[in-house]
Amino acid sequence: MSEKKIPYKIYLEESEMPKQWYNMRADMKNKPAPLLNPKTLQPMTQEELSSVFCEELCRQELDENTAYFDIPEEIRDFYKMYRPSPLVRAYCLEEKLQTPAKIYYKFEGNNTSGSHKLNSAIAQAYYAKKQGLKGVTTETGAGQWGTALSMACAYFGLDCQVYMVKCSYEQKPFRREVMRTYGANVTPSPSNTTVVGRKILQEFPGTNGSLGCAISEAVEAAGAQTGYRYVLGSVLNQVLLHQTVIGLETKAAMDKYDIKPDVIIGCAGGGSNLGGLIAPFMGKQLRGEENYEFIAVEPATCPSLTRGKYVYDYCDTGKVCPLSKMYTLGSGYMPAGTHAGGLRYHGMNPILSQLYDDGYMKAVSVHQTEVFKAAQEFARVEGILPAPESSHAIKIAIDEAMKCKETGEEKTILFGLTGTGYFDMFAYARYNDGEMVDYNPTDEEIAKGLSGIPQIPQNGF
Ligand SMILES: *Cc1c(COP(=O)(O)O)cnc(C)c1O
């Protein structure tokens, strides 16, 4: 470690910002399994995939050999409005914990959408625009992705249609208004604007909706309009690729001060922020140049890595998307109503799934009350009001720092602080009122979800 005093915030100059995204697959010996066409069970071709997603994004999705993709200048210009994001040395948290550990976090909540999702939203909107499309459709659960996409579409003059899970639409009216301010059309899902929505409404009148249902509506809406494609905010390899800007900036900032993290921690929903944060470090590990400890943190209520299976599964409840080999709880798995809305997806990104299966990464699950306790502790000393999702990483970072206190080890801990929690104040209120409870899914509930995994030959790819 150099003697240079490390500042509270390490910024990069504009000229030092990454000009390329990094594709971890290029350095993986065991590549993630290909996406399969749900009808033929054969690997999806570029052509088949292009009917759902934008062309360039399909290329990125399927490419497992190109290590670096240039970030187009238009996207870099947009990044400059809110990036580089700060890498913060958590001096105040270290002091509070009285730990010899050195703690750093990369803060992605410094933009209006309040999370890292804008990094991929702007890329996806750019490629849609470049392809000459009129607009895009998507779903949003907690609302962060819909907000990010609305901002990106406004910037490039694209129409943006968001299907927002009904209970979220009603509980988070401010998220909805942010999206509308950016010009997006927000529809509570299930709605009577689609065939699948009308069918669900007829079967389950008064339903609160679900992410799986909103995905099915968004995919249908894209297919029903010329010049529209469907876009997704996590899980896919293309999204993880865009999010590598997080890790690349972090590594560049750390290199300036000769800092090498020992432990790298991120919360895991669909896996894009975690994959993006660890990418350049994992690349070094895959090439045999360095060693790190990687930890994925997931909610106990949606434990795809720690209790799921590594198999081909549907990406959506409507079973319209390609099949993906991933750690999954089954597409019909219904997580209990916890407050980390952005971590409630049933599956995990295929690259991270393969890395986890190969033993490159650990995973732990945590309960929401301990997560909010960590969030509160963090907010009181570091100032930032963290998103519940991000607070999963905070919880484990604090645990690691406390272990160092016992052993006297001066480990360097890095974690991803993916966003702010201003729209999650109902959740904070429940915690503050002592009304928040923990829930551990029973083995039966997990088995029920897993029983929905398609009965197809699972080997051979
Ligand atoms: C969506 C979201 C997550 C989950 O991100 P993934 O990349 O899907 O794992 C985490 N934190 C915040 C603040 C989010 O909005």
CATH number at residue 120: 3.40.50.1100
Specify if 359 maps to a domain: yes
Confidence of residue 16 (pLDDT cuts 50, 70, 90): very high
Amino acid at 284: K
Q: Please give the number of the atom of ligand 1 that sits closest to the Cα of 266.
A: 9
Please give the distance, rounded to the nearest whole angstrom, from the Cα atom of residue 16 to the centre of ligand 1: 26
Q: How far apart are CA 306 and CA 304, in angstroms?
A: 6
Q: By alpha-carbon position, which residue is closest to atom 10 of ligand 1? A: 389
Q: By alpha-carbon position, which residue is closest to atom 4 of ligand 1? A: 269
Specify if 459 maps to a domain: no
The residue among 230, 258, 292 that closes a domain is: 230
98 backbone φψ class: left, alpha, beta (φ>0; ψ -120 to 50): left
- Region 80-97 average pLDDT: 97
Q: By alpha-carbon position, which residue is closest to atom 1 of ligand 1? A: 342
- Region 16-38 average pLDDT: 96
Specify if 455 maps to a domain: no
Radius of gyration (C-alpha) of the chain in whole angstroms? 21
Mutate to test the pocket of ligand 1, among 238, 343, 415 (most ligand atoms within 8 A of CB): 343
3-state secondary structure of 364: strand
150-188 b/e with 16+ CB inside 10 Å = b? bbbbbbbebbbbbbbbbbbbebbeebbebbeebebebbb
Specify if 445 maps to a domain: yes
Confidence of residue 3 (pLDDT cuts 50, 70, 90): low
- Region 264-283 average pLDDT: 98
pLDDT of residue 460: 52
Specify if 3 maps to a domain: no
Q: 138-152, 316-330, 377-391, 405-419 — which is least confidently predicted?
A: 316-330
Based on the fold, state whether residues 38 and 147 are members of the same structural domain: yes
Specify if 268 maps to a domain: yes
Mutate to test the pocket of ligand 1, among 144, 231, 274, 302 (most ligand atoms within 8 A of CB): 144
Query: What number of other Cβ atoms are within 10 A of residue 445's Cβ?
Result: 18
* Containing structural domain, residue 359: 9-17+83-114+237-450
Please give the distance, rounded to the nearest whole angstrom, from the Cα atom of residue 342 to the centre of ligand 1: 5
Q: How far apart are CA 415 and CA 412, in angstroms?
A: 10
Based on the fold, state whether residues 315 and 291 are members of the same structural domain: yes
User: How do residues 296-352 score in pLDDT, each as one tens digit?
Assistant: 999 999 999 999 999 999 987 777 788 999 999 998 888 876 676 778 888 999 999
| Phi, psi dihedral angles at 68 (to 5 degrees) | -125, 135
3-state secondary structure of 392: helix
pLDDT of residue 335: 81
Based on the fold, state whether residues 319 and 183 are members of the same structural domain: no
pLDDT of residue 1: 47
- State the chain's maximal CA–CA distance in angstroms: 67
Amino acid at 164: M
425-432 helix and 368-382 helix, angle to the nearest 10 degrees:
100
User: How do residues 424-435 score in pLDDT, each as one tens digit?
Assistant: 999 999 999 999
Q: Are 249 and 87 in contact (CB under 8 A)?
A: yes
Please report, to the nearest 10 degrees, the dihedral formed by the alpha carbons of residues 190, 196, 198, 201 taken in order.
Answer: -50
3-state secondary structure of 243: helix
pLDDT at 13 over 90: yes
pTM (two decimals)? 0.96
pLDDT at 420 over 90: yes
Is cis: bond before 84, omega within 30 of 0?
A: yes
| Phi, psi dihedral angles at 362 (to 5 degrees) | -100, 165
pLDDT > 70: percent of the chain: 98
Based on the fold, state whether residues 211 and 282 are members of the same structural domain: no
Please give the distance, rounded to the nearest whole angstrom, from the Cα atom of residue 211 to the centre of ligand 1: 14
The residue among 199, 230, 261 that closes a domain is: 230
The encoded tokens of residue 52 equal 């759902």
Q: How far apart are CA 116 and CA 418, in angstroms?
A: 6
Amino acid at 27: D
The encoded tokens of residue 177 equal 């208004």
pLDDT at 251 over 90: yes
Please give the distance, rounded to the nearest whole angstrom, from the Cα atom of residue 389 to the centre of ligand 1: 6
Specify if 331 maps to a domain: yes
Specify if 74 maps to a domain: no
- Region 361-377 average pLDDT: 98
pLDDT of residue 338: 66
Q: How far apart are CA 270 and CA 241, in angstroms?
A: 13
Q: Which residues line ligand 1 at a C-beta cut-off of 6 Å?
A: 115, 117, 144, 234, 267-274, 342-343, 387, 389-390, 418-419
- Region 148-168 average pLDDT: 96
The residue among 203, 230, 257 that closes a domain is: 230
Based on the fold, state whether residues 208 and 260 are members of the same structural domain: no
Q: By alpha-carbon position, which residue is closest to atom 5 of ligand 1? A: 269
Based on the fold, state whether residues 210 and 293 are members of the same structural domain: no
pLDDT at 461 over 60: no
How many domains are there within the chain?
2
Based on the fold, state whether residues 378 and 356 are members of the same structural domain: yes
Q: Are 410 and 404 in contact (CB under 8 A)?
A: yes
